[in-house]
Amino acid sequence: MLSLQGKTVAITGASGGIGEATSRLLARRGAAVVLAARRSERIDAIAQDIREAGGRAAACVVDVTRAEDLQRLVSHTVDRFGRIDVLVNNAGIAPISPLAALDTEGWSAMIDVNLRGMLNGVAAALPVFRAQGSGHLVSIVSVAGLSVSPSMAVYAATKNAVRTVHEGLRTESTDGVVRTTAISPGYVRTDLADSMADPHLREQTRRNMDAVGIPPAAVARAVAFAVEQPDDVEIGEINVRPTVQA
């Protein structure tokens, strides 16, 4: 197994689910991690757990829709650990609904968090990556961006847009300084369904998660695999799905 010793990783959406699992796994493998999310008590507690287990961790309260918060996250990471090797864009919401429901507030929220939040991370990290001479951008996308299901049009659009931005950044990064990895899970057993206003869709999504969902740790392992690669190796995209369908 490759080691993450000496690497510093900032992770958004780290207060639970994929972000928490990723923070804990990367810390166990030797990385210094900075957990970012809006729930300060939660990320403080997780960071404390990691430190008590012998790892290196810090917390930073961040709302990814605010560009200045991402700038502060990158600055805090560099100030605390000397550099930022990886930014994991994980924060995301899914208040899905049929387009006919005209939930324009939900549409805007998904665009702001899922897409604009990722772009804010790019804007904050890219100059630092280039100044350092290396850096790795990892984003948690979704297989929903590859195949659109009913009620998921806007959510899928935001995830597809994130994938497109990743591909654009990859094609522009021909000097080997910036690496990119888009990780697309299927259903993951998290609390993402809680952001869905429609009770029928919320319950249906929870049933799907129970039936075919993978644990957050499976996605965390995909992140670790991509991040552990030598600087001259880039894993552009990883799809994470169960091998056995219910």
Catalytic residue among 155, 206, 219, 235: 155
- Residue 155 annotated in active site: yes
Residue 226 to residues 89, 124, 169, 242, Cα–Cα distance (Å): 14, 21, 17, 19
Positive/negative CA dihedral, 96, 217, 140, 148: negative
- Looking at the annotation, which residues are catalytic? 155
